[in-house]
Amino acid sequence: MSGYIALSYWDIAFAAVFLVLNGILSVALNLGLERQLAIAASRMIVQLLLVGLVLKTIFAISSLPLTALVACVMAAFAGREILARQERRLSGVWGYGIGTGAMMMSGLIITLVALTTQIQPEPWWTPRFALPLFGMILGNTMTGVSLGLDTLNSALHREKRAIEAQLLLGQTRWEAVTPFARRALRSGFMPIINAMAATGVVSLPGMMTGQILSGVEPTEAVKYQLLIMFLIGGATGLGVLGAVFASLWRLTDTRHRLRLDRLAAVKG
């Protein structure tokens, strides 16, 4: 059987029964997770229903300024998530700006390239194509950037004395922090590497599964999934590199000193 199969709200409610079962088990086993499950599920329902209504309106209007505005709002919320996931973060506007800027620039560049050279909708900024693509790239880049920055900032704070000792021995700021930069880059790259390694064998990605369920030929769905994974991998790499090196630039100075005073104090 092929073609689009419509789902009713009763179908969705029936699937939610399994989540309710998890909540009941949490109560029975005294795990204390039932409230978190309920809140997370409620937020998901409200957010997705609102997003569905908003996207329906945006698709109908099909306006470049409105599409750009929605993309900026998505990036702003993703930047807030990057900041929230860092135990030690840069103080002031830098804490928000570096992660958000690196993520948005890499995501924007990769999305524009894909829309104008590979997918080629007419017009190229068609929100039905641009916003879902930008959202997928943004979400994965956000994870890599947040991990990279958290690993870097925590490592520099933890190894402060070792780094300053290397600086006193005559190393430049870049030489002294290179091992920690490599560790942060590996941490930021790891989620997308794991995702690519597991795709197809361990898991079928959500976009590919959705296309197959809606009637698209599996071979065609595979092509789109490969395209998306390559775009996500490229954007994640650029975003992590940009964020890590920008943070290193901020946490050192031209006199080859470590400037951990630029990190915000950790709230106890």
With H, G, I as helix, E, B as strand and everything else as coil, classify residue 203: strand
- Tens of pLDDT, residue by residue over 44-94, are 999 899 988 988 999 999 999 999 999 999 999 999 999 998 989 999 999
- Tens of pLDDT, residue by residue over 109-160, are 999 999 999 999 999 999 999 999 999 999 999 999 999 999 999 999 999 9
Q: Cα 245 vs. chain centroid, distance in angstroms?
A: 18
Q: Cα 153 vs. chain centroid, distance in angstroms?
A: 19
In this prediction, residue 1 carries a pLDDT of 45
**How far from 186 is each of 69, 103, 190, CA to CA, in Å?**
33, 17, 6
Q: Single out the residue of 213, 221, 220 nearest to residue 7, CA to CA.
A: 213
Max distance between CA atoms of the chain, in angstroms, equals 71
209 pLDDT band, cuts 50/70/90, is confident
Contacts of 207 (CB under 8 A, 6+ apart): 136, 224, 225, 228
Task: Say if residues 160 and 258 touch (Cβ distance below 8 Å).
Answer: yes
Rounded-to-integer distance, Cα 139 and Cα 18, Å:
26
Buried residues in 143-171 as b, exposed as e (16+ CB within 10 A): bbbbbbbbbbbbbbbebeeebeebbeeee
Rounded-to-integer distance, Cα 259 and Cα 72, Å:
31
Helices (H), the chain: 9-28, 34-61, 64-84, 93-114, 127-158, 160-168, 173-198, 206-213, 218-251
Average pLDDT over residues 205-210: 74
Assigned token pair, 246 = 């920008």
Domain ranges of the chain: 1-61, 64-262
Assigned token pair, 48 = 């997705």
What pTM, to 2 d.p., does this model score? 0.85
Rounded-to-integer distance, Cα 155 and Cα 150, Å:
8
